[in-house]
Amino acid sequence: MRVKFEIVSNNKIELPFSHSPVQQGLIYSFLENEAAEWLHNQGFEYEKRSFKMLTFSDIIERGFPNHKEKRLTFPDGQISFYVASPVDWILQQSAQNLITSEKIQFGSNDAYVSSVSVLRQDKITSGKIRVKTLSPITMHSTFEKPDGKKVTHYYSPFEDDFEELLRTNLHKKWQSLYRENCPYDNFSIKPMFATNRKEKIRYFKGTLIKGWTGMFEIEGDPKLLQFALDAGLGDRNSQGYGMVEMVK
């Protein structure tokens, strides 16, 4: 399931360059208190990992950057973005409470939700599809150096481990949600570009994160591909990474 949130203000909307926490906060704040607390603190568990089972896109509209203040301005006072999840109640609850609220606080902006729409999705019938990113795909590992310090490595789509780690990550999400081993072993992802210009470096609450945007070809069982579109590809999905849409 995926929905589109449209937010309007009577004034211009201003957001920091790193505004995905604002989007994430909006989604969480309109869940019921008990549900929001459970999702934030526990979520869908797999061994020592916890998955939130939601992902969201970058803001669709293009803002005007102020590099000195590190802010984006949307002079029309309108922004929108997509949210996806394989767990319908997460989106239904958040969307229902958002659309019935008189006003919201979106970052430092007084605003209101003008529309929440459920998006039509074409059924995936092929074992190979092309997708484009709506937010960067990121995948990382943390290693400990001989001196005890930890270092984070973000994988490029041109590294062999990128595909294997995304496959493993997708299978873990499946097991955490359905409480069974994923029956679909095969999964592959290939970038449809050959340049490092697609790398995006951003920050989430002070943490540097590297991700990749562009067109990809993914292959696997149609049910697994649909799950990937709903749950997100890679890690940090609930922080606004890994949302993709199928391209015909």
- How far apart CA 179 and CA 143 sit, in angstroms, is 29
Catalytic residue among 19, 28, 82, 171: 28
82 touches 119 (CB < 8 A):
yes
67 among known catalytic residues: no
Number of H helices, E strands in the chain: 5, 18
Task: Say which residues have a Cβ less than 8 Å from residue 208's Cβ, sequence separation at least 6.
Answer: 201, 202
Q: Identify each DSSP E strand in 9-76 by its residue range.
A: 13-16, 44-46, 49-51, 55-56, 64-66, 71-74
236 touches 139 (CB < 8 A):
no
112 among known catalytic residues: no
**DSSP bridge pairs for 244:** 133
What's the gap between Cα 79 and its chain centre?
Answer: 17
Task: Say which residues have a Cβ less than 8 Å from residue 20's Cβ, sequence separation at least 6.
Answer: 56, 135, 202, 204, 239, 240
Give the residue ranges of DSSP H helices in the chain: 20-29, 33-41, 88-99, 160-178, 222-231
> Which residue numbers are catalytic?
28, 40
